[in-house]
Amino acid sequence: MLGTILEKNKLLITKYIGKGEDERKKFELLLTTNSAPVIKYRGERFVYNWEELIKFAINIIDEKLDGNKNCK
């Protein structure tokens, strides 16, 4: 796949990485030429920069760590 139209008149060159599934929710993962992740889910493509994904990940990690503290 050489390019994916994310919005009208915007072309983004991507590289297909693979398919995945999380809790029976299927998605595809692609990377842009500058390695920004593109997630294809439910027929739509979403582009995130690494800073956004790191913030999401830190929030998820915090929730898990806080949950483990509450279980003790």
Q: Provide the whole-model pTM.
A: 0.49
Name the CA dihedral angle for 4, 7, 9, 12, rounded to a multiple of 10 degrees: -30
pLDDT per residue as tens digits for the range 4-20:
445 555 667 778 889 98
- CA distance linking residue 72 with residue 59, whole number of Å: 21
* pLDDT value of position 40: 83
Residue 2 has pLDDT above 50, yes or no: no
Please, which residues have CB within 8 angstroms of residue 19's CB and are 6 or more apart in sequence?
A: 26, 27, 28, 29
What is each CA distance from 59 to 10, 23, 28, 64, in whole angstroms?
31, 19, 23, 9
pLDDT per residue as tens digits for the range 16-43:
889 988 888 898 888 877 767 888 888 8
Strand, coil or helix: what is 12?
strand
